[in-house]
Amino acid sequence: MSSRGCSLPGVAGHAVGKRPYHHGNLRRAVLDGALASIAAHGPAALSLRDVARRAGVSHAAPAHHFADKAGVLTAIAAEGYTLLADAMRDALADSGGDLVASGIAYIRFALGHRAHFEVMFRPELYRAEDPELASARQAAADVLLGAVRDTLGDASDDEVWGGVLAAWSFTHGFATLSLNTNFTPARADDIEAAVRQVGASVVRLTAAGAFGPEV
Amino acid sequence: MSSRGCSLPGVAGHAVGKRPYHHGNLRRAVLDGALASIAAHGPAALSLRDVARRAGVSHAAPAHHFADKAGVLTAIAAEGYTLLADAMRDALADSGGDLVASGIAYIRFALGHRAHFEVMFRPELYRAEDPELASARQAAADVLLGAVRDTLGDASDDEVWGGVLAAWSFTHGFATLSLNTNFTPARADDIEAAVRQVGASVVRLTAAGAFGPEV
DNA sequence: CCGACGATCTTGGCGGCGTCAAGTTTGGCA
DNA sequence: TGCCAAACTTGACGCCGCCAAGATCGTCGG
């Protein structure tokens, strides 16, 4: 019962692959409505009845495409990881493997797809064991791992893993704080400059020995 | 009406300053119950009625100490900022101003006071303009600012601000990812070693030019 | 010593929520 | 053409946050 609505749309696409009956494409409409609501009021305030109302369907209609509220958020998280992986892959390809470029893509994604991003990192809201989500998540992690590996050149797995932790922590923290606090909202239109300026600060702090002895 | 229950306890302490009537100290009991629930199920699943039930009072009793649900979360966020500032101040004092030591204190706080931390960085759940909260938050920010200033020595305000962004982003990202994902759970018992190892990775990435040209 | 006051807490009710069960519409296929 | 299954509706249940009105009880002025 619970797997029916979710598994039928299949692996293929997100927008198509489902024939319109009464509504047209209620699955997409529910996702888009939920995303708009989350972007405006946060994931905690999401109401499926409200989303259904805005889509012009009955309050129980969404349950036939997503088993329950957690199902909607699971789909959003999976979509988010796919979009994020694509954005980072594109940035790496365009920049010739620049780690900072992929970090900027990460931050741009967080700010531009706030709703996706906020859901992705609240695992208590969705079903983290969902296979579609898990694979999308793994794909995004692989992009980051490859980028760090390429940057460090010849490095042990431990060194690469440490680099992933470092790069991911920094980028994720910057993105999260930008979303949560009044963290330089003026420069939101020029993320690249802000990130590169902060990158320069990392170099300066490193030179000052803040992160440990130099090599 | 809304300010009565909140303003009476005053600036002094948190546990005392309120005479027991029927319950003893319902204000503390509500906070503790809410913290336990949030630590277990996240802030979104918090139910005031459930907290009241566990405290052995009626479902409307908490509203006399905190105007509403957002009031409870506001108090938790304010308490969290105060605890965090104290922890970082202590770490800086004990280490002679080591920025990494204060970062470790930050991460230790996040992992050890998960409920406080998760609420603090979800401003849509509470009243960010609450004066007690705002001052606690500012106090925490001042600790970080001072630590970065001391580390960088002679530096312009812009450079210090960039350093704050860098240090805070990194530390906050590490803490958030540790809470949200399966981010090396094995080393949770030795945060210091993990952070210093990742610090070494920052040095290595910097040497590889990942964050921009060296000075 | 006592009565009134006010803070603390209870009771009951309102609308909204997520979810379940059962019924209804509708498009495509045998 | 007639049937089936997917898509959607209707109605109900218990939970929630919040509000208003009432009950309880320590304290303080007289």
**Tens digit of pLDDT for each residue in A116-169?**
999 999 999 999 999 999 999 999 999 999 999 999 988 899 889 889 999 999
**Closest partner CB to B173 (pick from A43, A173, A184):** A173
Give the whole-angstrom CA distance, residue B212 versus residue B215: 9
| Strand C nucleotides within a 7 Å radius of protein CB atoms | 7-13, 16-22, 26-28
Angle, helices B99-112 vs B157-180, to 10°: value is 30
A-proximal residues of B, 155-184, CB under 8 Å: 155, 159, 162-163, 165-174, 176-177, 180-181, 183-184
Residues of A in contact with B153 (CB under 8 A): 208
Is B166–A124 a contact, with Cβ atoms under 8 angstroms apart?
A: no
Is B202–A211 a contact, with Cβ atoms under 8 angstroms apart?
A: yes
Where residue B11 falls among pLDDT bands split at 50, 70, 90?
very low
C27 C1' closest Cα residue: A21
Mean pLDDT is highest, among A145-159, A180-194, B100-114, B200-214, for B100-114
What distance in Å separates residue B4's CA from the closest CA in chain A?
27
- Indicate whether this model's pTM tops 0.85: yes
Please give the pLDDT value at position A11.
28
Is B121–A152 a contact, with Cβ atoms under 8 angstroms apart?
A: no
Please give the pLDDT value at position B186.
52
Residue of A nearest to B199 (CA): A211
Nearest CA to B82 among B117, B44, B118? Answer: B117
Nearest CA to A97 among A201, A167, A159? Answer: A167
B-proximal residues of A, 107-126, CB under 8 Å: 121-125
State pLDDT tens for residues A58-91: 999 999 999 999 999 999 999 999 999 999 999 9
Q: Do A115 and A60 meet the contact criterion of CB atoms below 8 Å apart?
A: no
The alpha-carbon radius of gyration of chain A (Å, integer) is 20
Is A177–B174 a contact, with Cβ atoms under 8 angstroms apart?
A: no
State pLDDT tens for residues B145-180: 999 999 998 889 888 988 999 999 999 999 999 998
- 3-state SS of A16-67 is CCCCCCCCCCHHHHHHHHHHHHHHHHCHHHCCHHHHHHHHCCCCCHHHHCCC
B-proximal residues of A, 19-48, CB under 8 Å: 41-45
Nearest CA to A88 among A105, A107, A75, A65? Answer: A105
Is A169–B165 a contact, with Cβ atoms under 8 angstroms apart?
A: no
Where residue A24 falls among pLDDT bands split at 50, 70, 90?
confident
| pLDDT exceeds 60 at position A17 | no
Q: Do A210 and B200 meet the contact criterion of CB atoms below 8 Å apart?
A: no
Question: What's the DSSP call for residue A208?
Answer: T
Residue that the structure tokens 């990812």 belong to: B177
Angle, helices A131-152 vs A157-180, to 10°: value is 110
What distance in Å separates residue B27's CA from the closest CA in chain A?
24
Q: Is A97 within 8 Å of chain B by CB? A: no
Please give the pLDDT value at position A210.
86
